[in-house]
């Protein structure tokens, strides 16, 4: 009696392989579009960070209005990562991080924000973040 060897692929293995390939193709297609969950999570995180920075700037301006010794106008405020300027008086001992303390912990945004005329501006080069910043009402500076 001879045993017949089967060298073919079974139908079950073929169906499983096709299903796995379809799933993997779907994942790849979804990751290439801007409609995936990672992209959406990045957008929400960035917008939350922007909202917190705007709140800190508003709190700083309010504090200056309440506790400042002179009449304060946020329109005279400028700040970046090297200094703070108020009414054309430069203070090189303070930076934007003194106005927006959470920037100290947000290392991923180093050098991407400035305050000009009392407004928070985004100067990063990431096109998605630039788009999201404009959605939040943040003006842009050319990178």
Which ranges in 1-143 belong to alpha helices (H)?
Answer: 11-32, 37-67, 96-99, 127-135
For the chain, domain boundaries:
37-140
Q: What is the per-residue pLDDT across 28-85, written as a single tens digit (0 to 9) for each?
A: 877 777 667 778 888 999 999 999 999 999 999 988 888 877 788 888 999 999 999 9
> Does residue 119 contact residue 139 with C-beta atoms inside 8 Å?
yes
Dihedral (C-alpha) 51, 52, 53, 57: value to the nearest 10 degrees?
100
Q: What is the per-residue pLDDT across 83-127, written as a single tens digit (0 to 9) for each?
A: 999 988 899 999 999 999 999 998 899 889 999 999 999 998 899
Residues 6+ apart with CB under 8 A from 116: 78, 141
């Amino acid at each position: 009696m001879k045993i017949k060897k089967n060298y073919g692929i079974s139908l079950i293995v073929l169906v499983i392989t096709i299903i796995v390939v379809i799933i993997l193709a779907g994942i790849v297609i979804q990751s290439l579009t801007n409609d995936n969950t990672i992209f959406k999570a990045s957008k929400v995180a960035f917008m939350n960070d922007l909202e917190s920075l705007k709140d800190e700037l508003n709190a700083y301006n309010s504090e200056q209005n309440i506790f400042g010794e002179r009449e304060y106008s946020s329109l005279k405020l400028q700040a970046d990562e090297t200094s703070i300027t108020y009414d054309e008086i430069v203070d090189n001992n303070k930076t934007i991080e003194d106005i927006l303390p959470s920037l100290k912990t947000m290392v991923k945004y180093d050098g991407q924000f400035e305050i000009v005329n009392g407004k928070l501006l985004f100067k990063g080069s990431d096109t998605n973040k630039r788009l999201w910043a404009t959605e939040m009402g943040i003006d842009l500076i050319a990178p």
